[in-house]
Amino acid sequence: MVPIEASAILFDMDGLLIDSEPLWAEVEAAFARDRGANFTAELTRECVGRGLANTLRVMHEVFGFPVDLDRDSREIVDRFVARSGELVLKPGARELLDEATGLVPCALGSSSSRRLVQAALEAVGETSRFGVVVTGDDVAHPKPAPDIFARCARELGVAPARCVVLEDSLAGVRAGRAAGMRVIAVPERDGSCFVDEADAVVKDLFAARARIRFC
């Protein structure tokens, strides 16, 4: 097993660093239910990693209820932030951050809004870990476009080819690859669809650390 060399680590947030996907599923389902719709687990999985604007677009296309992007995004974020105290780090996240600190720079790249990212990081006590935080508010195109991770690399001052992206979603894996980076997928469910997309597919962040060589 050849190690993957990294001069910087770029973390996704939802579902990778923080165990937030169950809360997202509950909040989005409740939002849809209040409008008479059933936002199923399958629809939730299809939207993972693509940002809230995409989720609202899918809801509009599938269920037909009107959507106001600014108003409805604020409402969903408000619901999520109100419950952010329920969030916890994914297994191995703190250990990986502890080891990387002082060896290589770390960035966080998320399609979520800055307000939401800040609330989530505060909830798990990790606001000071990242030299760079890039959110969906900061770029023209969310994942799977490369914009978020490309900006992380620029702001860190590290060449994309020397960055390793950690992601749990297919959209995020594709964003990292499009940015010219090595990608380790840490899927929450079946990882078979990641095999041809990522440089490595592992079961958790402990296993991800075992694949990385800091340099």
As a whole number of angstroms, the distance between CA 48 and CA 39 comes to 13
Give the domain ranges of the chain.
4-20+88-214, 21-85
Burial (CB count <10 Å: 0-12, 13-18, 19+), residue 72: buried
- List strands edge to edge, sheet with 8-11: 132-134, 106-109, 8-11, 163-167, 182-185, 200-201
138 is known as an active-site residue? no
Catalytic residue (one of 14, 19, 72, 168): 14
As a whole number of angstroms, the distance between CA 131 and CA 143 comes to 21
The CATH number of the structural domain formed by 4-20+88-214 is 3.40.50.1000
Least confident of 38-47, 76-85, 118-127, 148-157: 38-47
Query: 153-207 pLDDT, tens per residue?
Result: 999 999 999 999 999 999 999 999 999 999 999 998 777 889 999 999 999 999 9
The reported pLDDT for the residue numbered 190 is 78
As a whole number of angstroms, the distance between CA 103 and CA 11 comes to 16
Across the chain, what does the average pLDDT equal?
94
Catalytic residue (one of 12, 19, 147, 168): 12
Query: 106-128 pLDDT, tens per residue?
Result: 999 999 889 999 999 999 999 99
Residue type, 148: I
Of 18, 2, 17, give the one whose Cα is nearest residue 165: 17
Whether residue 144 is predicted with pLDDT greater than 90 in this model: the reply is yes
At residue 56 the predicted structure's pLDDT band, cuts being 50, 70 and 90, is very high
At residue 45 the predicted structure's pLDDT band, cuts being 50, 70 and 90, is confident
12 is known as an active-site residue? yes
Q: If you average pLDDT over residues 37-57, what whole number do you get? A: 88
Whether residue 1 is predicted with pLDDT greater than 90 in this model: the reply is no
At residue 21 the predicted structure's pLDDT band, cuts being 50, 70 and 90, is confident
In CATH terms, the fold of domain 21-85 is DNA polymerase; domain 1 (1.10.150)
